[in-house]
C-alpha cells in the first residue's frame, strides 16, 4: 500500500498542468490533471466491487 501511495504522490507532482473538464455543459475550474486522474481511479476502486458483487449475485439467482 505504501508503494501505491508513493507512486500516486510522484505522479501528482509530475503532472501539475492545470486543465478544465467540460461535460454536458458543466465545467470544472482549472485544476491539476493529476487530480482528475486520481479522483477517477479512486471512484473506480470504490464502485468496482459493487458492480462485481451485483454481477455475482445476479448469476447465482439464475
pLDDT for 46 equals 93
The confidence band for 62, taking pLDDT boundaries of 50, 70 and 90, is: low
Using left for φ > 0, alpha for ψ between -120 and 50, and beta otherwise, residue 24 falls in left
C-alpha cell at 6: 508513493
Euclidean distance between CA atoms 17 and 15, whole angstroms: 6
In the predicted model, is pLDDT for residue 1 greater than 80?
no
The string of pLDDT tens digits covering residues 3-61 is: 988 988 898 888 889 999 898 999 999 999 888 888 898 899 999 999 999 999 998 87
Amino acid at each position: 500500500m505504501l508503494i501505491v501511495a508513493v507512486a500516486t504522490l510522484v505522479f501528482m507532482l509530475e503532472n501539475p498542468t492545470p486543465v478544465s473538464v467540460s461535460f454536458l455543459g458543466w465545467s470544472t475550474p482549472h485544476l491539476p490533471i493529476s487530480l482528475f486522474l486520481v479522483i477517477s481511479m479512486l471512484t473506480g476502486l470504490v464502485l468496482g466491487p459493487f458492480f462485481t458483487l451485483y454481477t455475482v449475485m445476479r448469476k447465482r439467482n439464475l
